[in-house]
Each structure stands twice: as structure tokens, then as C-alpha cells.
Structure 1
Amino acid sequence: MTSSRRPFREFDDSYDAESLRMARRVVRGLTMSMQHIVVAPGSRSAPLAYALREAEELGAITVHIRIDERSAAFTALGLAMATGRPTGVVTTSGTAAGNLLPAVMEAELSGVPLAVITADRPEELHGTGANQTTWQQGMFAGRVRDEVHLEQSDILEGHLRLEPASRDDLMAVETQVGLLMRQATASSATSVPGPVHLNIGFRDPLVPTGISSTQQALQRWARKPFLPAEDRETAAPQQRIDDADLGTFRTAFVFGHDAPAVAVGLAQQLGHPILAEPSSGARWSDTGAVQGYRLLLQAPEGSAAAELREQVQRVVVVGRPTLTRPVQQLIRRRDVQAVQYAPRRLAWSDERLPRRSLRELDELAEFAGRAPAGWQEAWQEKGIAAQRMIDAALGEQEQLSSVRAAQFVAETVRTPLLLGSSSVIRDVDLAAALTRPAAEPGAGVGATGVGGAVGAAADRGAEDRRIYALRGVSGIDGNLSAAAGVALHRQRRVTALVGDLTFLHDLNTLLVPSTEERPHLDIVVINDGGGAIFDQLEHGEVGRRRGNQQVVERFFGTPQSVEIEQLVIGFGHEHRRAETVQDLEAALAGPDDRVGVRVIEVRTDRAPLRDFHAELTARAAEL
């Protein structure tokens, strides 16, 4: 390798194997912006493991070890969700790399800066039948914001540099990795945060040469992140728009997953109702969100609620609504004009989005207009009535149902909460009044249960009441691992509320190596013995036709009779069973007094759910 300038050397590890030297430069590039990295063990990725161990000892990064690659990837996803900064997952070559795809898909459509780092066999071994060798370059093409392949042989050939000619030498390993991490967090009108892929072809030897601990202590080579944790981006300040010259329209603001918070203030200022999904961040008392909104949207024709719904002239969509058909039906009504508020490019949309996108608040205000007198109040009044109707229907149940359990957990828990995909997040969307005050230990079920005070201010802080969810692809895989990642970053207890199939699908979250810190995680499992969501869809109606019940149950309900308690104890964690709301209250009390992972199992019957939802919709005729 030749250069017209002297190499820019900040440390000297020329004594070591070239694979280790390359790995250190990779890690330096990562730690410019990365706080956490998750490693799944493997031989070809060993240079990265040794380099990361050194970097962790130097205080430059926190390393987490997981055995299963898919669980490792979703744990990294959860860490990236919590920090808003790139988080890495490292695997060896072969099928290990393939196990990262589900997390990459979720990160792509949810705009999460996940860095997947795959070790590869050197190019000369490809096509030779060498063990654990497959073509990994471009394996996530079309799903990552950018990708870089580094080949160790390129160093010898002069196409890649370990010792850069300058700090910004584009041929240097560290620079290429640092620039790739910038692509993971780029956010503008034309770019959006998301996953990136770094593939590295390592040659033998893959282990460090002998070096004394004294010499190693002098090699302070690792970079600490440029931005400390406290400098992370905060919520955008509210901006007041001059509404003196705006038109008057009956507009509804629909807040979906990951909605920009600044739109809440505009909706309040203009006097429009806010219909907010649980993971939108807009479903709190201080936002004026409409309670029981889903029941209002599905109220039968001829009801007062339906008449209110029919008066909507315009809809502003903020974030990504994914949970219910009544919301989509409102957005797509032929007599309604709908726009998407998107101050930055959306991770999940392109030019085919059927509604117009608006980037500026003043444009949005002009579209939404000022609400006529009493418009917001009418929605809020009907919403309170709908919430009371939902509470009353749940109060009539003889046994604890999945809907009641989900409602209670969402309203009561005093930690950050991750809602699993499938039924539970929809149950929370339907029934939970997040405006109720969270219960204190021993406060009694009446504080938050059926008939509790609706409209009271929530007593949780913004971070305590934050709700996470994987709504990019909305799959059930990786939900527990993502919750564990959030808990590892926050260094405090997090609650995950999931169904039984979601729990079993991500069971390896419970497999934490004994050398590793266990996340402080409560997992509330609604165990109804299968997939309840399908019975709420068209398949439930098909299953009620003569001769179809067993077919639908087999292919969609997928019944299971796993003893979750035995599984949890086998993994070395605590298990509790809750049969009543009082049991749940006791289990969730005092979250700061517990450490490690604990599973709270709530056994329910999914058979009556379809009739419950039908009866609730019928009652909505009275709204």
C-alpha cells in the first residue's frame, strides 16, 4: 500500500493478527455513534468479539451476549428504539446472518437505526463448498438504507486501509464504518432512519496474538460516542399557528404509531378531536384524546355516534394507523378529504401513498381549519359515554377476559410498556382509558378498574407512560426481545403485554447467558390457548358455519396446551399466575422492588370474545 501522505496513526497494534487489527477499526467506526451492541457467538466473527471485549473494558460501548441470532437482533432493535441511536447486532456467517432478516424488515418499516454486522468467509472460499459459506453481500438489499462490504484481502491489495492517510480518508476502514452509521440515522425530506448492513470477510487467523495485560492497558484505542446519552434528541416544542384567517371545517386528527408530537398541539389549538392509537404517544389526558373512539367509529347507522361520525369532512393522519378497520374506513371515505402529516420522509410510504402529504404545520393548519363551536367537545362527550359502556360490559363478565386484563395492565402499570402484536394491542386500543391515574400499590382495584375516574390526569411521567410496539411489519416475532432491549438501556423495569403465541414464538428471550445482565422485565402473558385474533376477523364467521369449526381452529386458532410455568422455571425465571384483577394488581405493584425477568400468566377463554365484541357493537346504538 502506498500513499502520498504519512499514515495517520493514533495507536499501534501492528503486533497483532490482521483480522483483529481490522476489527478494531470497525469498532472505532461503530462507537462514534453507538452505545450498545449485541453479539451472537460464532467463530468467523471472533475478531469482532475480541475487539468489542477490549472496547467495553475501555468504556466505549456496552456489549450484550445472546445465543439465538433472531433474539439478538430484536434485542438490538429494542435498544435502538429506546436510544434513538444505532445499535448493532453481530453474527457469524451462514444461516446465522439469515436469522437477522425479520428484525431488518421491522427496522426498515419502523425507521429504527439497526446495524446488522455479519462476519463472512473470505472471497477465495466462496464457491468452493467451504463450510458455513453463502453469499451474504446484498442479502438485505432493498431493506437497508445502505450497505458496505469490507474484505480483508483488500488491505493487502491496497483497496482498503487500516492506517488512514488522514482522519477523513475514505479508503480507511474506520471512516467507511462511521459513514455507514450516519446513514442509519439520516433524517430529512428525502431520507429516514433505518437499518444498515456491514458485511466483513475475515481471513485466518481469527484470534489475537499474545499480549500482556500491561501492554493492553496502554492500548486505549477505542472511541467513546461523540454524543453522550443526555444529548439525545428531545420532543419537538409546540408551535402555535396564527389561525385568524383559517376556514372552518369538521376535521378529525387520527394519530397512529410513532406520530410526530408537534401535531397534538395544533389539533388542540384548532379544536379538533384526536383519535389516538396506544403507541402514537398522543393518548393521554393532557392531549385531550377521545376515549372509546373505536366504539364510536363502529357504532351502527342511525345512532347519534354514527351521525357525529358522518359529519367529518376532513381527516389528518399523523403517524401510521394500523390497528382497526373502522379507522381505515374513516380515512378512505369518498366524501372525506384526507392528508398525511409528514414533516420528514416516512419509513413505510412512497409515492403510491393514496393521500397527499403535508410537511409544514402552516400547510396542515390551512387544510384542517378551525373547528366549529362544540366540535371537539361533542366527540369527547360521546367518547366518555363509550368508555363507560365498555367498562360496564367488562364489569358484567364473570371471569377475567383478555380484554379486561389488557385494559387493567395498560391503565395500571407504572413502567414503560411494550404491547405485543396481534390481539393485545387491539384490546388496549378498544378498552384502555390511559387518562385514568395509575394505581399505587395497595390502592385497590377501584382506582383504575371498571367505573374508575375517567378524564383524570395520568400521574406517570412521559417516559414512565411511554408505550412501545413493533408496528413496522407488525409480526409477533421478536416482541419479547425488543422489550428486553428497552429494559437493558433504561436500566429499570419494563413491562411487556403479549399473547401466548407471541410469547412462545420468542421464547429464547428467556435464554440469557449466565455471564450477562438479565433485563428487568415483567412479561404479562394472556394465555387463551391459541390465536384469538383470527376469531375477530372473517375467519370467526366461517368457523361458525356448519362443519367448519375444526378447520378454522386447526389452521388459524392453532390451539396449544403448553405449560408456561414449567417453561419459565426451566429457564430459571420467576412465574406467577393471575386469575383475577386483584391478582394482577398485586403482581404489578412495586415494580422498583424486583430484579430480573418475571412472567405473569393470565389464563383466559377466547371462545366468548366474538360474541362480546358483537354485543358491544350492538350496544353502541345507544351512543
Structure 2
Amino acid sequence: MHSDRRPFREFDDSEDAEALRLARRVVRGLSLSMRHVVIAPGSRSAPLAYALAEAEQLGAIRLHVRIDERSAAFTALGIALDSGQPAGVVTTSGTAVGNLTPAVMEADMAGVPLVAITADRPEELHGTGANQTTWQHGMFAGRVRDEIHLEQGEVRLEPVSRDDMLSAETQVALLMRQASESRGKGPGPVHLNIGFRDPLVPREPEEGAPAVPQRWARRPVRPQAPVQPAVHLQGGALMDQLDAEEREAAREQIRRSLRAVQDIARDVRTVFVLGHDAPPEAAQLALELGHPVLAEPTSGARDADAAVPAYRLILQAPASSAGGRLTAEIQRVVVAGRPTLSRPVQRLLTADAVEAVQYQPAGVGWHDHRLPRPVEHDLERIREFAGAPPAGWLDTWLRVGRRVQQVVDRELDSVGALSSVRAAQLVAETVRTPLLLGSSSVIRDVDLAARLTMHGPARLVALRGLSGIDGNVSAASGIALSRERRVSALVGDLTFLHDLNALLLPSREQVPSVDVVVINDAGGAIFDQLEHGDVGRRPGKGEAVERLFGTPQAVDLAQIAAGFGVEHRGVGTPEQLQQALAHPDDRLGVRIIEVRTDRHGLRDLHTRMKDGVAAL
């Protein structure tokens, strides 16, 4: 190619290895919208590693190194989940790419902008039996919003015109846009696969040439403002913060809302079921109309004024009880977010006498046309569907909820030892840091028992896309790296053991500050609360159910902590647990707080709670 334009010297690395030149342009495209990249070591991905190290030196990227690819992927997932911005994970070729699959699946269903960046063998080696070579392009098909394959030699890299040199950067930048703004399905993962040819290392500079990297990076990292917890203001306090013009606009909005309420159907008994990641306006609408809110912990509305405590037990109550009578009166349900925790909620949504609609203002990855209820995008249509309740509808739900919560607290206090439910309740009500809830039992225990207020966790999150126990501790570490502050995680023992490589950090890496509270009941407690618990109580079935579902383990977590060089603290009482969680800013690094409990009495505990609610 010939051009009369002078070379754009900022990018003139034409004497370097072609693999490095391609990698730099890829990283330049990434840095337009990405600030964090997690990388696992590998040879084929070496050009990306060198380019990312240069980008970090230039202030364009924050680079984190992990030894295990699955942990690396979930660390990046945690960063993207917390920041809402794309975060990348880089691997070499072969099985390393397959280890990203669980995180990509979670990111797909949870709408998280995770960027899988995989190095590949060049095209001519595919199908030849070459070592560590497999078909990587399309490996995540159906799980990613978009994917591209860049093949070294097919991308123009001449340092003569800006257009030629930005061709790879542009393709990558467009892919990144799909991670954040994919039409129809909302944010989600994308896949960038790059075929690199040897040599994979930078060329040694000629004698006398400068050894420092050229300033090819797009721009330095801009410090992000710390994420502030939501501020809840009463009407009067809010008005005090507005000037006269804003106050009049707010009053007009209230008047419009009141007129809208007057125009809708009357005496409609509606409840709002708010699942994971529910749009915040749904809870506001419920309160405005006067309908009760049944909010999962990660809905963002558990502390709403209309949120009903211990709602799950109300829905399970027999027809003759106060909770059963209330449940029987429900005519309509507005669903927002994704409810995943409670079978009573699922039974409510499919009841013949109940009409349900899903409020979803934008596309998401977890539902499509097969969702067994209509999807409505217009909040005003939701207002019309919900209608205005009869007098006292919300107050009655809140009153019954408080009585049911008293039953829960009474039964938890009656247990001599610290049960897993009580421990989960204490953690959720005590921590002031962001809190990640592990999948399986602990998030359901929080849903059952915890009273979350505006003074609770700074943010409450969970991996509810597919609700797996993969990578929960790694994701919490990613949140800590994103926020640059301490984070808490509440997980079960099997969830913790499943992600031990989250503790496996290269010695020179920044150690995330995470308190990992492990409720160790020596196995899988959740299965005893399901139908498998009934099977296990049949003659001759107990041992098989315990082996297959309980999966008992006798691992010494203190020894594991010592092996990884992290702090371990065992607690056995509520006071000790609260003390362990106090003053989170006074410590750095990872700490394991182990709560030993006995899962074999949980079924009886839940039965006593149900019996107490039935007597109301």
C-alpha cells in the first residue's frame, strides 16, 4: 500500500513482532470502555499479556493475574457485575477456554458484560492434530451477545495511515458495544477469539533504541467515584433539598400520580413480586398504589416501605390461618426482576385464580416468548393492571408479616446453638459492606429470616443467572477489586470448597479485601428441605440420600486457610459472629470466618416455624 501521509508515529511499532502489534491494537480497542482485565498465564496468549502489561504501565488498564482460568473468569464477572462496565478475562488456547464456560453462562443469564478474550492457534494448524488446538471460534455460541475472530495476517497493520492501523481496534470496540448495549437481550458476555502466529514475544530492540513502550494506549484510567449507598429520604426531607422550581415540579408529579390512581380500577387485590435485579421503579409504584411487596434479598427492594417480612411463610400458610386467608384474596401479581428462591412464589404465579404480568422495561437474557405470563414494558400499563387496592390492603399484609417475623425470631432464639438460618440472618442484618450471598441455602435463609433496612449492606448481590455454586468467592473478590474496599461474602461450605482457587493468588498480586463467612454444616443442607428430605426419611433410604445429596465432608477449613496463608476465625455464638464482622475497615486481605452448624435439625426448625405461622 502506498500513501503520501506521514506515519502516525505514536503507533509506529512496525519493526516489532506482528503478534505484538495486533495485540496492542486489540488492547487499545478494549481500553475504550474497559478498565479491568483478569489474565491467566499461557504461551499462545503471550502477545496479549505483554500488551496488557504495557497498557497497565501506561495507565490505561488495571491488570489482575490469576492461576486458574475459572477463578479468573468469575473474578472478572464480579468486577463487571459491580461496575456495570465490561471486564475482560484472557486465556490461552485449548482447555483453558473451556474453563470460562460457567462464567459465560452466568453472565449470559444475568446480563453481565463479561468479555472472554481467548488466544487461538493460527488457522493452518486447525484440524492437523497440533498440540492444544481446538475449534474455539463459536465455542460460546448461544451464550454470547456477539463474537468475532481476528486472524493474524488478515488484519491490516501497516503504520502508514490511522485507518489501516485502527481496523482491529474498531472491530474490538464494536464488539465491546455489544457487551453493553446489545439490542433485544440487554447487556451480556461477548467473545473475542484471536489466532496468533509465532513469534509470540516482543522483538529485542536494536542497540541504542529506546526500551520503554511507546504511548499507544488510548488514555489513562480515570479514577471512578466511589459507589455511594442509596439515600432514602422521607417526603419532607426530599423537598427540603430541592429549590422552588424543583419543588413545584415534584408536586406536579405527585398530582399526576394521584390523578392516575384515581383513573384506575378500584379494590384490586394485587401484590408485587420483586425478584433478582428488579427495576427500582416497580417498588416505588407498589408503594404509591398501596400494594404489598414480596421482595427477594437481591431485588434491591427488601428495605422498601411496602416490603412484607417473612412473606414466604405467609404464602405457605394453611387456608384457615391469617396468612392463608390473605394469600387466597390475591387477584393479580406484578412480577419484576427474576424470582428464583421460593416454590411458594412459583405456585402463586401459576395459580388458576391469579392473573400475573411481568414488568420488564428492557430486554434481558433470562426470558423470551416462552415466559408463562405476559411481558409489559410500559410502567403506566402496569399501573392500570395493578389497580388501586381496597382500604387497608397493604397495612394488613405488613401487620401479618410482622407477626410471622416474630414467629421466625422466636423459633431461631429457641435453638440453643447458632443455626445456619440464624447465622445468615445476623450476617445480612449486621454487615455494612457490600455483601455477596452464595447460591443454595444461605440466600434462602436470608430471604426467610433477615430484616434488611436502609442501614444494611451497602449492596447485596448474588449470582442468580444460573444460581450455580461456581465462582462465588472469586466473584466477591472481583467486587472488592472493583470497589477498592472491603466486601463480605456469605457462603455454604460446599460453595466455598468449590471455589478454593479464589484463594490461590500469585504472590505479587493485589490481594482483595474479602470477609468470607462460611456456614459449615459439613454438606449440602438445601436438599433436606426439598423432596429429597422426605425420601431420606423413608425406611432404608436415609444413607443413600445422605451420600448422594448431603455429600458430607470433613475438611478442616483452618488448615486450608493456613495452607493458603489467609486468616481464619471460628465463631460459635451470635455475639462472636457480630464481633467478627465489626470494624471491617480495620483489616486487609482475605479472611475466613467459619460458623460451624448442624444441618440435621433444620427440617424440624422449619416445621416449627410453619406450625407457628399456621396458628396465627
CA distance in 2, matches of 1:30, 1:5: 27
> Structure 1 residue 279 and structure 2 residue 274: aligned?
no
> Structure 1 residue 201 and structure 2 residue 191: aligned?
no
Match of 2:593 in 1: 600
Match of 1:369 in 2: 387
CA distance in 1, matches of 2:576, 2:208: 53
* Deviation of 1:166 (Å): 5.3
> Counterparts of 1:209-608 in structure 2 under 5 Å?
209-211=203-205, 215-217=210-212, 219-224=214-219, 229-230=224-225, 241=257, 242-248=260-266, 249-284=268-303, 286-435=304-453, 458-460=454-456, 464-608=457-601
Matching residue's letter, 1:483 = A
Q: Which runs of 4+ in 1 moved over 6 A?
A: 2-9, 225-228, 231-239
Query: Which moved further from structure 2: 548-557 or 612-621?
Result: 612-621
Other structure's SS at 2:371 match: coil
8 Å CA contact retained: 1:236, 1:262:
no
Change (3 A) 1:37 1:617: same
CA distance in 2, matches of 1:170, 1:544: 69
Number of residue pairs matched? 591
Change (3 A) 1:233 1:580: closer
The percentage of aligned residue pairs carrying the same residue is 63
Match of 2:239 in 1: none
Change (3 A) 1:368 1:5: farther
CA distance in 1, matches of 2:221, 2:503: 33
Matching residue's letter, 1:377 = D
Other structure's SS at 2:11 match: coil
Other structure's SS at 2:93 match: coil
8 Å CA contact retained: 1:318, 1:342:
yes
Match of 1:26 in 2: 26
* Deviation of 1:328 (Å): 0.6
Match of 2:96 in 1: 96
Change (3 A) 1:334 1:5: farther
8 Å CA contact retained: 2:227, 2:483:
no
* Deviation of 1:389 (Å): 0.7
* Deviation of 1:126 (Å): 1.3
8 Å CA contact retained: 2:493, 2:519:
yes
8 Å CA contact retained: 1:525, 1:601:
yes
Change (3 A) 1:2 1:143: farther
Other structure's SS at 2:468 match: coil
Matching residue's letter, 2:173 = G
8 Å CA contact retained: 2:59, 2:220:
no
CA distance in 2, matches of 1:350, 1:146: 18
Deviations 1:521-556 (A, max 9, x none): 000000000000000000000000000001001111
8 Å CA contact retained: 1:33, 1:226:
no
Match of 2:130 in 1: 130
* Deviation of 1:9 (Å): 6.5
Matching residue's letter, 2:613 = A
Other structure's SS at 2:198 match: coil
CA distance in 2, matches of 1:468, 1:399: 28
Other structure's SS at 1:243 match: helix
CA distance in 2, matches of 1:215, 1:383: 71
CA distance in 1, matches of 2:208, 2:190: 35
Change (3 A) 1:147 1:355: same
Match of 2:603 in 1: 610
Other structure's SS at 2:16 match: coil
What is the TM-score of this pair, normalised by structure 2?
0.92
Matching residue's letter, 1:176 = Q
CA distance in 2, matches of 1:164, 1:36: 30
Match of 1:108 in 2: 108
> Structure 1 residue 182 and structure 2 residue 177: aligned?
yes
* Deviation of 1:459 (Å): 2.6
* Deviation of 1:154 (Å): 1.3
* Deviation of 1:153 (Å): 2.5
Match of 2:247 in 1: none
8 Å CA contact retained: 2:61, 2:221:
no
Gaps of 5+ in 1: 436-457
* Deviation of 1:216 (Å): 5.0
8 Å CA contact retained: 2:31, 2:61:
yes
Other structure's SS at 1:153 match: coil
8 Å CA contact retained: 1:110, 1:472:
yes
8 Å CA contact retained: 2:3, 2:160:
no
Matching residue's letter, 1:184 = A
* Deviation of 1:597 (Å): 0.2
8 Å CA contact retained: 1:503, 1:525:
yes
Deviations 1:293-335 (A, max 9, x none): 1111111121111111111110000100000100111111111
Change (3 A) 1:234 1:465: closer
8 Å CA contact retained: 1:236, 1:261:
no
* Deviation of 1:244 (Å): 2.0
Question: Which protein has the bigger helix share?
Answer: 2
Matching residue's letter, 1:257 = H
Matching residue's letter, 1:93 = S
Change (3 A) 1:500 1:489: same
Deviations 1:372-418 (A, max 9, x none): 11111111111111111100000000111100000000000111000
Matching residue's letter, 2:79 = L
CA distance in 1, matches of 2:3, 2:154: 15
CA distance in 2, matches of 1:524, 1:577: 10
8 Å CA contact retained: 1:115, 1:197:
yes
Deviations 1:84-136 (A, max 9, x none): 01000000000000000000000000000000000001111112221111110
* Deviation of 1:224 (Å): 2.9
Change (3 A) 1:322 1:6: farther
Matching residue's letter, 1:279 = T
Match of 1:455 in 2: none
8 Å CA contact retained: 1:22, 1:162:
no
Match of 1:447 in 2: none
Deviations 1:161-181 (A, max 9, x none): 4658555x7981000000000
CA distance in 2, matches of 1:350, 1:7: 50
Gaps of 5+ in 2: 233-249
CA distance in 2, matches of 1:151, 1:35: 25
Change (3 A) 1:3 1:558: farther
Change (3 A) 1:4 1:225: same
* Deviation of 1:622 (Å): 2.2
Other structure's SS at 1:373 match: coil
8 Å CA contact retained: 1:162, 1:173:
no
8 Å CA contact retained: 2:25, 2:165:
no
* Deviation of 1:65 (Å): 0.2
CA distance in 1, matches of 2:208, 2:299: 50
8 Å CA contact retained: 2:276, 2:337:
yes
